[in-house]
Amino acid sequence: MLNTRELKANIKRILRTDYIKTIDKAKDYEKYNALSKAIMELTIDNWDKTIEVYSNSKQAYYLSAEFLMGRALGNNLLNLGIYEEVKEVLEELNIDINDIEEIEEDAGLGNGGLGRLAACFMDSAATKNLPLTGYGIRYSHGLFKQSFKNGFQVEKADNWLKYGDPWSVRRDEDTVIVEFADCSLKAVPYDMPVIGYKTSNINKLRLFKAEPLEDFDFELFNSQEYNRAVEKKNRAEDVSRVLYPNESTAEGKTLRLKQQYFFVSAALQDLVRNFKKYHGNNFDLFKKYNAIQLNDTHPVIAIPEFMRILIDEEKVEWKKAWEITVNTFSYTNHTILREALEEWDIELYKKLLPRVYEIIKIIDGRFIRELGEEGYSYNKINSMKIIYKNKIHMAWLAIHGTHATNGVAKLHTDILKNQELKDWYELYPDRFLNKTNGITPRRWLALCNKELSGFITELLSSDSWITDLKALKELEKFAGDKSVLNKLLDIKQLKKQQLSEYIRINEGVETNPNSLFDIQIKRLHEYKRQLLNAFGILDLYFRLKENPDLDIIPRTFIFGAKAAPGYFRAKGIIKFINEIANLINNDESISNKIKVVFIQNYRVSYAEKLFPAADISEQISTAGKEASGTGNMKFMLNGTPTIGTYDGANVEMVQEAGEENNFIFGARMEELEKIKETYDPIEYYDSVKGLKRVVNTLIDGTFDDGDTGMFEDLYNSLLEGASWHRPDNYFILKDFDEYRKAQDKVDKAYRDRLGWARKCLMNLAYAGKFSSDRTIMEYAKEIWGIEAKKI
């Protein structure tokens, strides 16, 4: 039980000591910090106990460039089981908990699905009492804050730490030094508690901040060379300043590599130091007590860095060091897109990390000899070399230097085995396995959709589903219960009203909560095909203009996405969608039928409002291109049918919930593989009714791209291609008509309200497979070899 009197006193105490204020005079962010610090005090004893219990068993370590955690306060209160009690305490202090939650900045520690998956895994590991520690970078600024000016994306600094960070503890005593050829940096750890749901265990996310060995040169300052006096400090802090710095220049590439090596080296030094504390220098025991997961290729430099530490610092001979390394490390592949598999110029490695490069070169040389002894041909060896044509292939290093490589959905893993990584699968068949992604039901249902969560608990007479999501299958028995179905519709309507109000306040746009909410929220990338969605909307608009009496369900199309700062085409698609929105939203003749909203600065806290309010989930990537997707799962968990392709985790989702309860369209991967060499988009452009009209708006003056050439580039990418890809590389024109027909099916199905509610219920009932609790337990058992340890 929460001691509410003590909590009140602590909040008041912290406000007095930190801000010299009373509650009635404190600002919302000050109240937020005081409350958060008071809650943090409740965790310290169990946090210490967890560390001690874990120290006696095998532990796993998750190395990731991103941890997209989202807001901490609400999630931590939920997991501690004290949300309602704290809410009552705040009411007694005349504080609205919603105001306090809204003032919290989203932690700028991640960008997309990769980082959000890492965050879900951390939550699930803590909930399941698994000894898992996360390692990453404490970025002082996130990717960027997005806004729109004249429809163009504008990027501003994401200073998420402007009000401080009450959920992290600086641990100076654990600082390590990271050595580059041109400088040495301090890696200062900040520890963030990861609170499991209804358990006393508290896991740890350790993030490193880069600082100089000497942060101020007094002699230079005294000589009035003020800029030079702090130059080393600024350059050092650049390493942990911004998530994913622009790599368009040599300086940007150098900074990106420094980031990767910085947190990996710091993590491994920290890990080895802890091992030696409990087990001395007996590195034969290392793999028995440690498992390290590399989340994509960003931290793969850990393999040669760990070899360097073992060989150079711990004096372990090569053969034993390599055996320890391979048996300790495992690798998650998140993409089949070759351009997303990292490659690094060897000259940059030689210049910045000469010893690490030497070790990679030795690893590659030994590997080449092994392949030669196995009878591999010259050409085959070249295709698998870790160093080839002056490039270091990080994915190849990852597969060779680990004991497990996993995909993140069954289709994705099959593609890796049979196509993209076929040679590697034939070489190491026992190393490849699948781990379909999952999401935490705590944040993505229990926290963000309390109305639906409460109704589920009422129907099942238990809240045990929050940690055993497969229990949702019991909901299927209500598929014919009109009162249950109507209640589901009422909850969805309430969430739509809440979202409409939030959009009105934050975007200045009025939306109709009685319309069908059609939502596509994810990173902006060509293969995710936001452009296909845009073409579909524009086609519907033109059809309405031709036939004002066209019978359609009123629909609100909602987009949320950030384009990488250097991704010209993605920015062009954002501008195009905003141009469409401007056209449609200002046309009074169709204002009650369709509306388009592109929300600004899409992030976790915005997503928590969008997922519960969606009527239809857009998962329309080119078949075979999306590794998994987790946004699709969040929609499903909130009772939303999918309109999508047979791609990524969509495949497993419709297998669970039934294709009849979703809207699958488009060419499948097998068909696209057969036709990719002969495919001619002009055939579709010329023959599909209405398609030429919408495509031509890119160049016929319908819309204005401000003379940037963005729209012409999009047009040419579809019909002419470019030096690096074929025309219509993502088959937008091919799938357009099927997409339009699928949307017509959505319109028809939505009119049958109870039938629609049944589709929603079936998606919810069969979302249980897609819990990150299930995924993390599979990692623990089948890859890491760790067991739950409850304090």
pLDDT in tens, 621-655: 999 999 999 999 999 999 999 999 999 999 999 99
Please compute the mean of the pLDDT values over residues 652-669 and round it to a whole number: 97
pLDDT exceeds cutoff 80 at 209:
yes
Please compute the mean of the pLDDT values over residues 492-521 and round it to a whole number: 98
Q: Tell me whether residue 791 is in a domain.
A: no
For the question of whether the overall pTM of this predicted structure is more than 0.75, the answer is: yes
Nearest partner of 335 among 384, 405, 385, judged by Cα: 405
Sheet hosting strand 391-393, strand order edge to edge: 343-345, 391-393, 387-388
29 and 116 housed in the same domain: no
454 and 390 housed in the same domain: no
Instruction: Give the strand pairing for 555-560 and 202-212.
Output: unpaired
Counting the structural domains of the chain, the total is 3
Q: Tell me whether residue 682 is in a domain.
A: no
Q: Which of 338-342, 610-614, 687-691, 700-704 has the lowest mean pLDDT?
A: 338-342
161 and 225 housed in the same domain: yes
State the residue range of the domain holding 21: 1-54+72-105
Q: Are 331 and 399 in contact (CB under 8 A)?
A: yes
Q: How far apart are CA 562 and CA 153, in angstroms?
A: 8
Q: Tell me whether residue 630 is in a domain.
A: yes
Q: Are 474 and 457 in contact (CB under 8 A)?
A: no
Euclidean distance between the first and the last CA atom of the chain, given in angstroms as a whole number: 18
Q: Which two tokens stand for residue 330?
A: 């495992």
pLDDT exceeds cutoff 90 at 730:
yes
632 and 643 housed in the same domain: yes
412 and 531 housed in the same domain: no
Q: Tell me whether residue 250 is in a domain.
A: yes
Q: Tell me whether residue 762 is in a domain.
A: yes
Instruction: Give the strand pairing for 387-388 and 290-295.
Output: unpaired
* Residue where the block lists tokens 């969560």: 453
Residue 220: band (very low, low, confident or very high) from pLDDT cuts 50, 70, 90: low
Residue 359: band (very low, low, confident or very high) from pLDDT cuts 50, 70, 90: very high
Q: Are 560 and 645 in contact (CB under 8 A)?
A: no
Task: Give the pLDDT confidence score for residue 234 in this predicted structure.
Answer: 82
Q: How far apart are CA 270 and CA 63, in angstroms?
A: 12
Q: What is the pLDDT of residues 151-189, one digit of tens each?
A: 999 999 999 999 999 999 999 999 999 999 999 999 999
Task: Give the pLDDT confidence score for residue 448 in this predicted structure.
Answer: 98
Longest dimension (CA), the chain: 82
198 and 320 housed in the same domain: yes
Task: Give the pLDDT confidence score for residue 272 in this predicted structure.
Answer: 98
Q: Which amino acid is at 42?
A: L
Q: In whole numbers, what is the pLDDT of the chain averaged over residues?
A: 96
223 and 326 housed in the same domain: yes
Instruction: Kindly write down the DSSP assignment for every residue of 353-377, as one continuous string.
Output: -HHHHHHHHHHHHHHHHHHHHTT--
366 and 505 housed in the same domain: no
CA dihedral 280, 281, 282, 286 (to 10 degrees): 90
Q: Tell me whether residue 310 is in a domain.
A: yes
Any idea how long the chain is?
Answer: 791
Write down which residue in 105, 125, 147 finishes a domain.
105
350 and 284 housed in the same domain: yes
391 and 473 housed in the same domain: no
pLDDT exceeds cutoff 60 at 82:
yes
Q: Tell me whether residue 473 is in a domain.
A: yes
395 and 491 housed in the same domain: no
Q: Tell me whether residue 709 is in a domain.
A: no
Helix (H) or strand (E) holding 295: strand 290-295
81 and 166 housed in the same domain: no
| Domain harbouring 128, CATH code | 3.40.50.2000
Q: What is the pLDDT of residues 774-783, one digit of tens each?
A: 999 999 999 9
Please compute the mean of the pLDDT values over residues 43-60 and round it to a whole number: 96
Q: Are 437 and 628 in contact (CB under 8 A)?
A: yes
Catalytic (active-site) positions: 334, 522-523, 528, 630, 634
